[in-house]
Structure 1
Amino acid sequence: MQTFEQGAFDPTVIGQMARPGEEWLGSYTDADTARWFPEPPKSKHRTAFERDRARVVHSSGLRRLGAKTQVLGPGSDDFVRTRLTHSLEVAQVGREMGRALGCDPDLVDTACLTHDLGHPPFGHNGERALAEIAEPIGGFEGNAQTLRLLTRLEPKIFAADGTPRGLNLTRASLDASVKYPWAYRRGPARPDGAATHKFGVYPDDAPVFAWLRRGAPAGPLRCMEAQVMDLADDISYSVHDVEDAVVGGRLDLRVLDDAEERARVAEHVRAWYGDWHDPDALDDALVRLRDTGYLVTDFDGSRRALARLKDATSQLIGRFSGAAQDATREVFGDGPLTRYAAQLVVPHETAEEILALKGVAVTYVMAPRESEPLYSAQREIIADLVDVLADRAPVALEPAFAADWREAADDGARLRVVVDQVASLTDVSATQLHSRLVRRRA
């Protein structure tokens, strides 16, 4: 999440303007609605962005998110969120925020629905395991995998020469889905000077990345729709993970009355998200949130308590998204704020409150979980699957990935194919495949 102060951004320098020969489509141009592989004209009853959203909704990648971990595993209980329910909630928050700022709501909806498509089984635990394995071939990152899925792996459109084009979304939708518009180890430095480990494109996906970024300003600047998606993700992540923890009995929000517990939260934020974060500012944010009265501190599982908790999540979402909308309008004024004509402004206090809530989930759910035997076992499953699939390829691979493996030019490309298949698995299918291939081999 980026925060822009008033006066730090000049929209006249990089503002989107219609170029010669282009037709304005609302606040979007023909270049924004272009597809990497040109398609015949479609029905005029739907816009290009409505068609993009429909393609994502009907994709196998979106369906698989229903069995992938968000924070707690899909089988933890009937209430806990999966990657799919999280993505739907992000889409709702992002769609409304984008609409208020003048973005095309279907475009923002599409970006939000796609933002986690590339995540592997077992959430960030699985992502870290694959990142270590894929280090020699350009790493692994969920957002880069999302771009690969949208433009290559998801079966929908093929070019005339037979090469896959994935869902073949419009330029604007692809650009909006890229949360980190840079390659591996090419991103902006963090406040402590270290390189960010996040990135959005693998080396062999560079051609489509260059195409979707055509017309964008140089550097790591994201389009407005991508920034709305990113903030909607942060808001949903922070609020809903805390809600899940309360309902699951893992968290009693009365702990935030204790200064020592708030200090614990601040230290976990610094450990997980960067030690440059000010612990005093985080403490102030937790106190502000506590003083809103939104944090339900006497949850007993009753229907009335569940209703109060649900209202609290709604109030917090409105607090965070409303603050960003108001601050952005104050800087950039009225009218549609789309693509590169503006930047999302997130007030510093709002950013601190979102981060502090994420820290609450880390402190009481995510950090304790890392010491559990299951967490280590999940990483072993990922590593074992890559090992056995690579050893028994192409026979052990699914037919689509087996074809990719046969066409791969070298060992690095073949390893990437194996990583693609493992990343496509759900928590359940990864466990079942491991039982079938690895335990049988043992």
Structure 2
Amino acid sequence: MADGQKAVKRTKAKLAGEGGYVRPPRAPYATDPAKSRGRLHPEPESRNRNPFERDRDRIVHSSAFRRLRGKTQVFVAHEGDHYRTRLSHSLEVAQIARTVARQMGLDDDLAETLGIAHDLGHPPFGHTGEDVLDAAMEGYAGFDHNAQTLRVLTKLERRYPTFDGLNLTWETLEGVVKHNGPLIRYGATLQDLPIAIQEYVATHDLELESWPGPEAQVAAFSDDIAYNNHDIDDGLRAGLFTLAEIRADVPMVERVLVTVERDYPDIDEFRTSAEMVRRLIGVLVDDLVWESTNRLNDLKPQTPEDIRAAGKPLVGFSDVMNEHQSVLRRFLMQRMYRHWKVNRSRSHAKRILRELFDLFLGEPELLPPAWQEGGDGPRGQRTARRVCDYIAGMTDDYAIEEHRRLFTLER
């Protein structure tokens, strides 16, 4: 048995003992808040919170975080109160990231912070909104939700007297920007990246050519766990597919459902689905911890910098789990994301955002007063970037209402 498997088994056995939960020891390669590289604008340290806890709290109190409650991923916000929003999704990602990081001996405060922050730059109407804004901004340096998250955290939030943004630690900003891997690789250069990232790293180097720290890698895969499972839950609730259909097409779901029906043969379908999703999350978390522990034991890193310099991700799922997830994603793509009802909502959303963008770009005097001045980039791009920032910050319902006010004649 590999050392990683033995370590995971020992940890599980310890956690299941008579004493209940015992926190695993801190790994030497965990990010240490006491050794943070600090903030772009120096500030006195807090007496009550470490730097990563302070970052988390600043994000939670931000306007952009509150607006996530009205931004969706698949369904439009007004279609139902039970479907996930970007806010509930971010909280789920943060919870999973915290759990995985703690099991692996990493810094769970940083992992939680990255889970909470990762979607702040998403516009209304999910990925449809991102596609519309990117197309509308062609010729104006484009739109990218990851770069927009950096803009929100470093520029668009204006809550402090001496700087724009939230002035988060280097580790949090690095993790937000690089959570999916290095940005400068395979022939890509800094000039190929979104303008917001180019401008920021000119004054605060986030080392875009290296892999992110371990907590950021954990947050990225926690995102995968959260959205795959909540899309199953939301798709079943919306009636886009049935439990029988997903179990027939996705072997991983079938295997988990068999255990649920064996343990609880008399519960109704709603409870069966909920228990299945809960167990699926557990299966994915266990696989992520097991595979990542094996990789880390093979490399034996001693610092977070060893992980950044590894040249490959050290956190990830096993090959078998990646195959299972590919089958699940294909099912969700066919039966949910391309469902005719979802396509109708997507089509409506495209028209709303494109018409709002074109109107504001042609008549910027229609923007609220706070958005009529400023803007970044060359002179020809400033108005477009202001319009883009304004629309990207909207909730679904606000975009619908703004469109109604501007395009519907009322007595």
TM-score category by the smaller chain? 0.7 to 0.9
- Ranges in structure 1 where 5+ consecutive residues have no aligned partner: 1-23, 190-194, 263-285
Distance between the aligned counterparts of 2:345 and 2:102, measured in 1?
Answer: 42
Q: Which moved more, 1:414-423 or 1:362-371?
A: 362-371
Distance between the aligned counterparts of 1:173 and 1:371, measured in 2?
Answer: 34
The alpha-carbon deviation at position 180 of structure 1 amounts to: 4.7
Distance between the aligned counterparts of 1:129 and 1:373, measured in 2?
Answer: 15
Q: Which moved more, 1:382-391 or 1:200-209?
A: 200-209
- Which residue is 1:137 aligned to? 140
- What amino acid does structure 1 have at the position aligned with 2:201? F
CA contact (8 A) 1:120 1:426 kept: yes
* 1:428 and 2:393 aligned: no
Distance between the aligned counterparts of 2:130 and 2:359, measured in 1?
Answer: 18
The alpha-carbon deviation at position 73 of structure 1 amounts to: 1.7
- What amino acid does structure 2 have at the position aligned with 1:176? G
Look up the SS of the partner of 2:245 in the other structure: helix
* 1:172 and 2:171 aligned: yes
Distance between the aligned counterparts of 1:73 and 1:200, measured in 2?
Answer: 32
- Ranges in structure 2 where 5+ consecutive residues have no aligned partner: 1-27, 308-313
CA contact (8 A) 2:69 2:88 kept: yes
- Which residue is 2:407 aligned to? 438
Q: Find 1:341's aligned residue among 303, 306, 317.
A: 306
- Which residue is 2:41 aligned to? 37
Q: Find 2:385's aligned residue among 416, 420, 423.
A: 416
The alpha-carbon deviation at position 289 of structure 1 amounts to: 3.6
The change in CA–CA distance for 1:146 and 1:67 in structure 2 (over 3 A counts) is same
| TM-score normalised by L of structure 1 | 0.75
The change in CA–CA distance for 1:402 and 1:61 in structure 2 (over 3 A counts) is same
- Which residue is 1:59 aligned to? 62
- Which residue is 1:209 aligned to? 201
- What amino acid does structure 1 have at the position aligned with 2:288? A
Q: Which moved more, 1:368-377 or 1:136-145?
A: 368-377
- Which residue is 1:247 aligned to? 237
The change in CA–CA distance for 1:180 and 1:126 in structure 2 (over 3 A counts) is same
The change in CA–CA distance for 1:333 and 1:187 in structure 2 (over 3 A counts) is closer
- Which residue is 1:382 aligned to? 353
Q: Which moved more, 1:366-375 or 1:65-74?
A: 366-375
The change in CA–CA distance for 1:201 and 1:119 in structure 2 (over 3 A counts) is farther
The change in CA–CA distance for 1:373 and 1:290 in structure 2 (over 3 A counts) is closer
The alpha-carbon deviation at position 368 of structure 1 amounts to: 1.7
The alpha-carbon deviation at position 168 of structure 1 amounts to: 0.9
Residues 208-228 of structure 1: CA distance to partner in whole angstroms, max 9, x if unpaired?
2355544x4x63523222211
Distance between the aligned counterparts of 1:101 and 1:205, measured in 2?
Answer: 30
Distance between the aligned counterparts of 1:93 and 1:177, measured in 2?
Answer: 16
- Which residue is 1:89 aligned to? 92
The alpha-carbon deviation at position 63 of structure 1 amounts to: 0.9
Distance between the aligned counterparts of 2:180 and 2:203, measured in 1?
Answer: 16
The alpha-carbon deviation at position 31 of structure 1 amounts to: 6.3
- Which residue is 1:21 aligned to? none
Distance between the aligned counterparts of 1:119 and 1:424, measured in 2?
Answer: 8
- Which residue is 1:351 aligned to? 322
Look up the SS of the partner of 1:137 in the other structure: coil
Q: Which moved more, 1:68-77 or 1:302-311?
A: 302-311
| TM-score normalised by L of structure 2 | 0.80
- Which residue is 2:126 aligned to? 123
Residues 218-269 of structure 1: CA distance to partner in whole angstroms, max 9, x if unpaired?
63523222211110111111111011111222211322465xxx4xxxxxxx
Distance between the aligned counterparts of 2:387 and 2:225, measured in 1?
Answer: 34
Identical amino acids, percent of aligned pairs: 31
- What amino acid does structure 1 have at the position aligned with 2:388? V
Q: Which moved more, 1:352-361 or 1:330-339?
A: 330-339
Q: Find 2:331's aligned residue among 360, 369, 372.
A: 360
CA contact (8 A) 1:181 1:201 kept: no
- Residues 141-160 of structure 1: matches in 2 within 5 Å? 141-157=144-160, 159=162
- Which residue is 1:396 aligned to? 366
Distance between the aligned counterparts of 1:106 and 1:219, measured in 2?
Answer: 25
- What amino acid does structure 1 have at the position aligned with 2:297? G
- What amino acid does structure 1 have at the position aligned with 2:284? F
The change in CA–CA distance for 1:120 and 1:432 in structure 2 (over 3 A counts) is same
CA contact (8 A) 1:27 1:336 kept: no
- Residues 308-327 of structure 1: matches in 2 within 5 Å? 308-327=272-291
Distance between the aligned counterparts of 1:411 and 1:118, measured in 2?
Answer: 23
- Residues 289-300 of structure 1: matches in 2 within 5 Å? 289-293=253-257
CA contact (8 A) 1:158 1:166 kept: no
Aligned length: 371
